[in-house]
């Protein structure tokens, strides 16, 4: 498998959220770290959000 993988910290921030969309559009597999109500969460997505 020759997939392009990226780890993006600050995925829910202004820059991070825009960066994730661009990376997904270019075919990257993105794993992002984010905070939700004080808990540490890791998520992975391989497709851009639907319009």
DSSP lists the bridge partners of residue 6 as: 30
Distance (Å, whole) CA 23 – CA 4? 10
Strand pairing of 29-36 and 5-8?
A: parallel
The answer to whether the beta carbons of residues 41 and 18 sit under 8 Å apart is no
Residue-level pLDDT at 13: 84
Residue-level pLDDT at 37: 54
pLDDT in tens, the chain (51 residues): 567 999 998 888 889 889 999 999 999 998 888 666 566 556 666 666 665
Residue-level pLDDT at 3: 77
DSSP lists the bridge partners of residue 33 as: 42
């Amino acid at each position: 498998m020759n997939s392009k993988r990226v780890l993006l910290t600050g995925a829910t921030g202004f820059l991070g959220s825009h960066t994730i969309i661009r990376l997904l559009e270019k075919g990257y597999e993105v794993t992002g770290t984010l905070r939700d109500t004080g808990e540490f969460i890791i998520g992975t997505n391989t497709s851009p959000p639907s319009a």
